[in-house]
Amino acid sequence: MTSPPQRTKRASVPPPRKGGRNTSARPQERTDGPQRIAKLLARAGIASRREIERMIAEGRIALNGEKITTPATLLNDVAGLTVDGRPVRPAKASRLYRFYKPQRTLTAAHDLKGRPTIYDKLPSGLPRLMPVGRLDFLTEGLLLLTNDGELKRQLELPKTGVVRTYRARAFGTVSQAQLEQLAEGITIDGVHYGSIDANLERRTGRNCWIEMSLTEGKNREVRRVLEHLGLQVSRLIRTAYGPLTLEGLEPGQIDEMDRGELEAFRNTLK
């Protein structure tokens, strides 16, 4: 298998630590006054806000034994809250991990068809982690994982403007001029994709490597755009998510971002 071109860009996270864990002291949690229940539970790592709203509609969340009926409920903390009858623990300090998702794994907790998921590849002993966005079954590369539902949401929102960078190996013919037109955005089958910075890196016969950077990350966006240009994608790797890169990781490996760097990164988000 042809290897992708090498990059010199350094990761803004330290090299993998033994066991993939950071054992530095955890900062004190912030208190922001009354908050919507979905935000509190997301912050506590229960699920995303949208999933929590579904759980409320299903009657799975209660306060002091009484079912919560609206996601607009305001609370100061999670005291007295239960999910499926189990008490909710207060939020822990935010943690963010880099994970090199291998090919042929699902970004999901379970698969009815029995296909391997990212959780089958993660080592034991980690906290409960949620993926930031998704990579499809065949796509490999950088997947961020966090215990903080609010951080997950913040990193996923297009308005936050976090740049995702991919490298694609494709078969077919495309020019740099065609790729540069993607900076204006493109509509395919009624779906509009925003500005994409695309560069032709290397060509060998009719095979080429293309680097693409974007901020939306819609479902199968890179594959659909390249297929629209007449290319057949044979390998797709996400190499960076914002300032975080794959550097130092092999498929299936994970490491944790330093707490100080995580706070600095979070402060740069819109």
The verdict on whether 136 is a catalytic residue reads: yes
SS3 at position 67: strand
Residue found under tokens 């004190």:
28
Q: What are the angstrom distances between the C-alpha of 20 and each of 91, 159, 228?
A: 21, 31, 40
Catalytic residue among 84, 111, 120, 136: 136
- N-terminal to C-terminal alpha carbon distance within the chain: 39
CA 179 to CA 225: how far, in whole Å? Answer: 10
For strands 207-214 and 232-241, give the pairing: unpaired
Residue found under tokens 């994982």:
145
CA 189 to CA 241: how far, in whole Å? Answer: 27
CA 203 to CA 226: how far, in whole Å? Answer: 15
Residues marked as catalytic: 136
